[in-house]
Amino acid sequence: MTHKVQGLGTVIYRVPDLDRAKTWYAAAFQQEPYFDQPFYVGFNVAGYELGLDPDPSVQSGAGGGVAYWRVEDIDASLQHFVGSGATLVSAVQEVGDGIKVATVSDPFGNRIGLIQNPHFRLP
pLDDT for 12 = 87
Residues of the chain with pLDDT under 70: 1-7, 57-65, 123
Contact 12, 25 (CB under 8 A): no
pLDDT for 6 = 61
State how far the Cα of 24 lies from the Cα of 13, in Å rounded to an integer.
Answer: 13
Domain boundaries, the chain: 10-116
pLDDT for 4 = 62
The stretches of 16-103 forming alpha helices (DSSP H) are 18-28, 74-83
CATH top class, domain 10-116: alpha beta
Give CA separation, 76 vs 23, 73, 110, 114, 122, in Å. Answer: 21, 6, 20, 11, 22
pLDDT for 62 = 61
Helix (H, G, I), strand (E, B) or coil at 42: strand
Q: What is the pTM of this model?
A: 0.76
